[in-house]
Structure 1
């Protein structure tokens, strides 16, 4: 229980921010999962690229708003990009053998 007016306000503000940050993080995670699901289902390269662009945007937005740290955003984008690149390379390899 807060003892002062300012402490009570901090509790209210931090709860509001927590809910907003949670929304940004959830949106970001869902877009990342969509990319990974598209790769697992072996969807078209164009679709995977579009989903990847949306995921990158969501990651950047979460970092810009302070929901996640900029280094975490960079790490997530890098790992996701590596998976997308590997998937596209695998598709290129399978087309070359045909």
Structure 2
């Protein structure tokens, strides 16, 4: 347990930030899943709309340092490729 006042405050702040980060991470994952679900159903317009939301969510989470910027770029690239593949197969 933290012994000094500043260590107790830091522990409190870390805990608060951990809850905020968990919320952002959860929302980001939900947005990605919505894109994947739209791609699975074959609805390109819905997938594009969901991707637009997911893309901004990924950028926001990456800017906050919750996920690495390269991970966000990799996920955006992979999701975009799946959406493009929809039009090629249709």
1:3 aligns with 2:16: no
What is the CA-CA distance between 1:68 and the residue it aligns to?
Answer: 1.4
Distance in 1, matches of 2:4 and 2:87, equals: 57
What is the CA-CA distance between 1:88 and the residue it aligns to?
Answer: 2.4
Distance in 2, matches of 1:25 and 1:85, equals: 26
After TM superposition, the structure 1 = structure 2 runs for residues 22-61 of structure 1, keeping only pairs within 5 Å, are 22-43=22-43, 45-61=44-60
Q: Which has the larger radius of gyration?
A: 1
Output the TM-score relative to the length of structure 2. Answer: 0.90
**Match of residue 87 from structure 2:** 88
Give the unaligned 5+ runs of structure 1. 92-98
Distance in 1, matches of 2:4 and 2:12, equals: 13
Number of matched pairs: 90
Greater mean deviation of Cα atoms: 53-62 or 68-77: 68-77
Alpha-carbon RMSD: 1.2
- Superposed CA offset, 1:49-91 (max 9, x none): 1111111011011112222121221122122112222222212
Output the TM-score relative to the length of structure 1. Answer: 0.83
SS of the counterpart of 1:79?
Answer: helix
